[in-house]
Amino acid sequence: MDKKVVLITGCSSGIGLSLAVRLASDPEKTYKVYATMRNLAKKERLLGCVRELHRDTLDILQMDVTNQQSILQARDSVVEKRVDILGVGLMGPLEVQSLDTMRQILEVNLLGTIQTIQAFLPDMKAQCQGRILVTGSIGGLHGLPFNEVYCASKFAIEGACESLAIVLQHFNIHMSLIECGPVNTDFLDNQQKAELGDASLDQVDAATLDLYERYLHHCTAMFHNAAQDTEDIVKVFLSAIQASRPAFRYYTSGALPPLVRLKTSAPEGCRFIRAISQLIFPTDTAEQPP
């Protein structure tokens, strides 16, 4: 049987790394994995996780999703392409975000993802088959305080994927979003985050800083109590890869759909905004919006 050829972005760490290791180490050698990363100096971590026995199922390629040339070079090195997964984050009061940093988030999370799909689409359409899996986030399903630009990038990718899926179904290409809540990766450490005490926060008013501090505490507690391991996320990716008719959305945790229902059940009201606020700032007695 022909191997399934899978291309994964962001394999230097986190979910991309775990997915590459799992697929390359498949006991049946079902997959040929093209694991891409923007900095090949980081490839030892991946190589260290894949046993010699399975190295023939793994190729590591350089690919920066914000650089079209590197995407095209990677594309030209593979036979088929099916999986896409990566992203970066940005956290802090909006007042202190620079335009350059905001652009970078949109470049990677939104345009990088779209540009990558764009490069592989003609071949996939010509073959009239394939799968595209994109890592979504709870931050693409509802707003999160102090994550305005990250959420904007993740909301935007939801819209892009929903729109594209309508066309792709006519080409037997399945698009799936794997919606994640908190996951135990370096994501929180890697993301560009305004740290309390940073000089950039000097210009922020005290009330906002107080909310930000409470949000950071909430985040730390949430990751401590509820973060999933990358292996849990990889299982969901595998369901989407192996299903004969994959769903458009997969939620990695049962905690996510109720939040989405809360939003869609009263889309016009502030009840949802208050509910999210109460989740994150539970002791808040501040005046509520009408």
Ligand X SMILES: NC(=O)c1ccc[n+]([C@@H]2O[C@H](COP(=O)([O-])OP(=O)(O)OC[C@H]3O[C@@H](n4cnc5c(N)ncnc54)[C@H](OP(=O)(O)O)[C@@H]3O)[C@@H](O)[C@H]2O)c1
Annotated binding site for NADP(+): 10-38, 64, 154
Whether residue 179 contacts residue 141, with contact meaning beta carbons closer than 8 Å, is answered with: yes
Q: Among residues 112 and 145, whose Cβ is nearest to ligand X? A: 112
**Contacts for 30 with CB less than 8 Å, ≥ 6 apart:** 1, 3, 4, 23
By CB under 6 A, residue 62 contacts ligand X: no
Q: Among residues 115 and 277, whose Cβ is nearest to ligand X? A: 115
Q: Among residues 225 and 283, whose Cβ is nearest to ligand X? A: 225
User: Which range of residues in 52-60, 63-71, 92-100, 124-132 is near ligand X by CB under 6 A?
Assistant: 63-71
By CB under 6 A, residue 187 contacts ligand X: yes
CA distance 121 to 132: 10
By CB under 6 A, residue 54 contacts ligand X: no
Annotated binding-site members:
10-38, 64, 137, 154
By CB under 6 A, residue 12 contacts ligand X: yes
User: Residue 249: phi, psi to the nearest 5?
Assistant: -120, 135
CA distance 74 to 119: 10
By CB under 6 A, how many residues form the interface with ligand X?
28
Annotated binding-site members for substrate:
137
By CB under 6 A, residue 190 contacts ligand X: yes
CA distance 87 to 135: 8
Whether residue 181 contacts residue 252, with contact meaning beta carbons closer than 8 Å, is answered with: yes
Q: Among residues 38 and 75, whose Cβ is nearest to ligand X? A: 38
Please name which of 85, 90, 102 lies closest in space to residue 36, comparing C-alpha atoms: 85
Mapped onto helix, strand or coil, the DSSP state of residue 198 is coil
Q: Is 150 a residue of the active site?
A: yes
Distance of CA 130 to the CA centre of its chain: 20
User: Which range of residues in 52-60, 84-92, 163-171, 274-282 is near ligand X by CB under 6 A?
Assistant: 84-92
Mapped onto helix, strand or coil, the DSSP state of residue 192 is strand
Q: Which of residues 121-150 bind ligand X (CB under 6 A)?
A: 135, 137
Where do we find the tokens 């391991």? 229
What residues make contact with ligand X under the rule CB under 6 A?
9-10, 12-16, 37-39, 42, 64-66, 86-88, 108, 112, 135, 137, 180, 182-183, 185-187, 190
Active site residues per annotation: 150
